[in-house]
Amino acid sequence: MKQVLITGGGTGIGRAIAWAFAENGDAVTIAGRRLEILRKAAEGRNIACRQADITDEADVEALFQTPYDVVIANAGWGASGKTAKLSLADWNATLAVNLTGTFLTFRQALRSDPRPSRLIAIASTASLKGNASVPAYTAAKHGVLGLVRSIALDVAKTNTTCNAICPGFTETDLAETAITGLMDRFNIDRSEATAKVAAGSPRGNLISPDEIAQTALFLASKGASAINGHALSVSGGEI
């Protein structure tokens, strides 16, 4: 049984990953700012809840009072808006959650004794290509991938690996925001807006959080022990 920490584990991709590891018989801890959301996600499952803001250094340090075998940096958020219209506040908030939060989480994991055997960042296809509509999110996720590759080299001679999962648009609150935004902007119905959001995928539909969860299970398995510094695209062929 592995000890697993998942940040941003109360909703969306993080919740799906938490449920998958719990169903696998692992001891799961989910962390996030909203304790009531975490408790709802954990209800009826072998999942512990820890309230924490992953952009706060002290909160992250407190998460690692006990060691973990698997640490998944999933917490993320992104402000939309093209560069010329993007506020500095939204830029800083987006980098803080996605990039600084991942750095703080992985730094504390590497300071643990023993260290986790698996570090997994939930990045995005936005870490592998540009996106004019979400430049702050894209820059942050590019940074996450650079951090993952740097850590992978740092830990290469140990029993720890560090990898990134890069999902395409997934059935989460982020995709819902994009869909409703298109509906309002272009006065179109939900099906047409959803099709526009999913148009980047050759499959023509959104990625399921469960597909990402199964990928995380694989990267945490013994069979993935030689995979290190990899960006695994889960996008139906988008990348």
pLDDT band at 55 (very low <50, low <70, confident <90, very high): very high
Q: Name the token pair of 206.
A: 């959104």
| pLDDT for 200 beyond 90 | no
Residue keyed to tokens 């995928």: 201
Same structural domain, 132 and 182: no
| pLDDT value, residue 113 | 94
CATH of the domain at 37: 3.40.50.720
Same structural domain, 87 and 197: no
Same structural domain, 143 and 101: yes
**Cis peptide bond upstream of 167, omega within 30:** no
| pLDDT for 28 beyond 90 | yes
Same structural domain, 121 and 182: no
Q: Is residue 33 part of a domain?
A: yes
Domain hosting 190: range is 169-206
pLDDT band at 172 (very low <50, low <70, confident <90, very high): confident
Same structural domain, 130 and 182: no
Residue keyed to tokens 């803001």: 53
- pLDDT tens track for 56-86: 999 999 999 999 999 999 999 888 889 999 9
Same structural domain, 124 and 22: yes
Same structural domain, 45 and 148: yes
Q: Is residue 223 part of a domain?
A: yes
Domain count, the chain: 2
Catalytic residue list contains 68 = no
Strand, helix or coil at 211? helix
pLDDT band at 192 (very low <50, low <70, confident <90, very high): confident
- Write down the mean pLDDT value for the chain: 94
- pLDDT tens track for 147-156: 999 999 999 9
Cβ atoms of 77 and 101 within 8 Å: the answer is no
Same structural domain, 195 and 214: no
Q: Is residue 224 part of a domain?
A: yes
Cβ atoms of 233 and 137 within 8 Å: the answer is no
| pLDDT for 180 beyond 90 | no
Same structural domain, 118 and 215: yes
Same structural domain, 23 and 125: yes
| pLDDT value, residue 198 | 80
pLDDT band at 25 (very low <50, low <70, confident <90, very high): very high
Strand partners, 27: 3
Same structural domain, 128 and 179: no
- pLDDT tens track for 89-144: 999 999 999 999 999 999 999 999 999 999 999 999 999 999 998 999 999 999 99
How many separate helices (H) and strands (E) can be counted in the chain? 9, 7
pLDDT band at 37 (very low <50, low <70, confident <90, very high): very high
| pLDDT value, residue 12 | 94
Q: Is residue 239 part of a domain?
A: no
| pLDDT for 145 beyond 90 | yes
| pLDDT for 53 beyond 90 | yes
Same structural domain, 59 and 163: yes
pLDDT band at 181 (very low <50, low <70, confident <90, very high): confident
Catalytic residue from among 137, 171, 193, 236: 137
| pLDDT value, residue 127 | 96
Strand partners, 162: 119
